[in-house]
Every structure is written in structure tokens, then in C-alpha cells.
Amino acid sequence: MKQFMMIFIGEDYADLGLSPEEMQNRMGKWFAWSQKMDAAGIKHEGEALTSKIRRISGVERTAKDIASTELKEIVGGYYTVSAKDFDAVEEIAKDFPDYDLGSYVEIREVMVFDH
């Protein structure tokens, strides 16, 4: 078993103007998905990120605040799961609820270092 990270990328929820009803339905789907992973005993952790972005770059360490409205794609959160390989995670990621909002999942393997 290896560890993988599913990274969720898309437009910020707040900028989509979802109605309370839509949010609740979506939440129900997220809830079902995370329960499914828990039941399978493969989910480790996950976090959701707020929409404020501060980017620091260059040798001058220039800081710049970016509003989520300027970007169609921001990282909204992630889950780490145990799985055999990429194909297995792809199967898991099919339950990600926000494809219809144009969001997508990026699967990355967590690197294991030899000691």
C-alpha cells in the first residue's frame, strides 16, 4: 500500500454563488464520499483551505495578495488515502462531488524516503 494525495482544484466555492440548497446537496455528497473512504479504512487526513492567497516570490521576497476571484483555479483542499496504485485512486476520485462545477482532482503519490 502506498499513500496518495488527492488535491482538489477549481473555482472557489464562494465565487460560484451557490444557493444554500445547492451547498447542502453538495455537502451531502462530500459527506457520503468521505464516509465511504472511512468505511474502507483508506482515508488518512484532509483539510479544506480558505480562499485568501498570499504569494511570495523572487529574491526580494515580494509578497502579493491574490483574490480568489482573479483565479479560476485554486487549491481548495486535499485528502490523503492509502491505495495500491494510481488506478485505484482514480477509482476513489470518481466520487469527488464537484466535477460539474468545473473543478478537478489531481492525484499525487506521497514520496517515501529510505531511512
Q: Which residues of 37-48 are buried (b: 16+ CB within 10 A; e: fewer)?
A: beeeebbeebee
Asked if 20 interacts with other proteins (CB under 8 A), we say yes
Only segment of 28-36, 54-62, 84-92, 103-111 that touches other proteins (CB under 8 A): 28-36
- Phi, psi for 109 (deg, rounded to 5): -85, 140
Nearest to 98 by CA among 3, 27, 38, 14: 27
Task: Output 30 or 86, the one with its CB closest to other proteins.
Answer: 30
- Interface residue with other proteins, options 28, 72, 84, 94 (CB under 8 A): 28
Task: Output 23 or 110, the one with its CB closest to other proteins.
Answer: 23
Asked if 102 interacts with other proteins (CB under 8 A), we say no
Give the torsion sign (CA, 107, 113, 114, 115): negative
Asked if 23 interacts with other proteins (CB under 8 A), we say yes
